[in-house]
C-alpha cells in the first residue's frame, strides 16, 4: 500500500507538474486550457456512456426475510434497492 501511495503522490504529481509546465511553455495558457477542457469533456462523455451501458442490470434482488420481519423494514428495503 505504501508503494502505491508513493507512486501516486510522488511520481504522479512530479510527472504531472513537469508535463504540465512543458505543455504550458509550448502551447501557452489559452491553448492549453482549451485543450484540457476538450479532453475532460470527451472523457466525461465517454465515462457517462460506458457507465450507463455497463451498469445496466437485469437481475432481480431476491429478498429473504423471516415471517416476523416488520413491514416497515420491507418498505425501507424497497426504497433502497428500488424494487
pTM value surpassing 0.75: no
Give the range of the structural domain holding residue 19, as residue numbers without chain letter.
Answer: 2-81
- pLDDT tens readout for residues 16-70: 899 999 999 999 999 999 999 999 999 999 999 998 888 776 555 555 666 666 6
Number of structural domains in the chain: 1
The better pLDDT of the pair 62, 15 is held by 15
Phi, psi of 71 (to 5 degrees): -60, -30
Scored b (16 or more CB within 10 A) or e, 35-73 reads eeeeeeeeeeeeeeeeeeeeeeeeeeeeeeeeeeeeeee
Amino acid at each position: 500500500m505504501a508503494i502505491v501511495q508513493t507512486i501516486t503522490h510522488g511520481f504522479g504529481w512530479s510527472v504531472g507538474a513537469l508535463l504540465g509546465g512543458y505543455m504550458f511553455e509550448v502551447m501557452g495558457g489559452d491553448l492549453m486550457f482549451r485543450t484540457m477542457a476538450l479532453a475532460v469533456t470527451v472523457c466525461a462523455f465517454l465515462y457517462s456512456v460506458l457507465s450507463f451501458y455497463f451498469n445496466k442490470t437485469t437481475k432481480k434482488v431476491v429478498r429473504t426475510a423471516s415471517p416476523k420481519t416488520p413491514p416497515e423494514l420491507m418498505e425501507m428495503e424497497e426504497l433502497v434497492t428500488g424494487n
